[in-house]
Amino acid sequence: MSALFEPYRLRDLTIPNRVWMSPMCQYSAAPEGPDAGAPQDWHFAHYASRAAGGTGLVLVEATAVSPEGRISPYDLGLWSDTQLEAFRRITRFLTAQGTVPGVQLAHAGRKAATERPWKGGRPVGPEAHGWQPVAPSAVPFAEGHQTPEELSVEGIEEIVGRFADAARRALAAGFEVVEVHGAHGYLVHEFLSPHSNRRTDAYGGSFENRARFALEVVDAVREVWPQGKPVFFRVSATDWLEEGGWSADDTVRLARALQEHGVDLLDVSSGGNVPDARIPTGPGYQVPFASRVKAGTALPVAAVGLITDAEQAEKIVANGEADAVLLGRELLRDPYWARKAARELGGEVRVPDQYHRSV
């Protein structure tokens, strides 16, 4: 039997296989008005096709907990009940196909208020639906980016509450998994890394202080999320800096703390907090970070990053390097990747009745 197509259980939830869809922003929501931040027809078609293709878990893209937490004005959000209702159409369809619906909750921090990538990704101001970003410290992400406003303790507490509110809406919208976005140079990662966190109060300096915000967010989400449903946390395992940044050792240490606070799985990525970091990419280049967490803790992990073919994914799971794989660009190229991999590896995925001729 293929390890990649064995079901996986977390708390009371069983995910039908280990082929999972990584959160990938589509930058396709309305930037303002009554439908701002709500999923549109594009989002439905995008996620529905991966569910029809046999993907076991679909993690919906970074979904902002507040308007100011969006990466771009065109991001999804869960700060209003209007958005909640729009998400229900997606979760109903995914569930009907046997796919588990999950959502990644996020705050972009100092990397907020930028244009869509295919429009250049530059920072935008009020004339293009932009706003003033916030961050742990008044340190811009890169040259040409706005200097963020340093968050007060009261501001931090408000954002923690926003994560809890968004988790409540995610539950009401029909999601079975919620993931806290703590990677890629966005707000939670900005607090974790000494490269971006220059604070001298209880949220800066020592490892414990820099991890405080992440753990408070997890606690707030876990408190409102049912005990029978899992909470994930996405981490950047390293800033890819020789010194002065977040490291793989820090990630292992954080993983142990996250598990104590009720996180069920660590989604292990890397980078994003340093604009000019030198990253040696290649097939499965981030898998060793996931494997290191798995070897050094009791926390389940998922691997991501240039995982493209069935045999490669099978080996990652079968060899115990990770408990599941998250596919990103490969699922953009081929929504039916899971079905093809199942045929190649001798596994099984559910095929919609309407597609019975393809079996």
Query: What is the pLDDT at residue 356?
Result: 86
270 CB-side CA count, 13 A: 26
To the query of whether residue 47 is one of the catalytic residues in this protein, the response is: no
Quick one: average pLDDT of 289-298? 97
- pTM above 0.75? yes
> Hey, what are 291's tokens?
């494997």
Query: What is the pLDDT at residue 358?
Result: 84
CB 305 within 8 A of CB 247: no
**Strands, E, within 255-332: which ranges?**
265-269, 301-304, 324-327
> Hey, what are 126's tokens?
């009020």
What mean pLDDT, rounded, does the chain reach? 97
Query: What is the pLDDT at residue 297?
Result: 97
pLDDT in tens, 201-225: 999 999 999 999 999 999 999 999 9
Which residue in the list 186, 285, 336, 355 is annotated as catalytic? 186
Q: Which helix (H) or strand (E) holds 220?
A: helix 207-224
> What distances in angstroms separate CA 45 from CA 40, 85, 141, 306, 329, one per listed residue?
9, 17, 33, 24, 16
Question: Rg of the chain's alpha carbons, rounded to an integer?
Answer: 19
Q: Give the confidence band of 359 by pLDDT, cuts at 50, 70, 90.
A: confident
> Hey, what are 130's tokens?
């932009």
Query: What is the pLDDT at residue 249?
Result: 97
Residue in the block written with tokens 């992440």: 214
The span from the first CA to the last CA of the chain, in angstroms, equals: 19
> What distances in angstroms separate CA 190 from CA 24, 214, 250, one per listed residue?
20, 10, 14
Measured in whole angstroms, how far is the alpha carbon of residue 141 from the centre of its chain?
Answer: 20
Is residue 124 pLDDT above 90, yes or no? yes
Going along the chain from its start, the domains and CATH numbers come out as 3-358 (3.20.20.70)
Q: Give the confidence band of 66 by pLDDT, cuts at 50, 70, 90.
A: very high
Q: Any bridge partners for residue 303, and if so which?
A: 268, 325
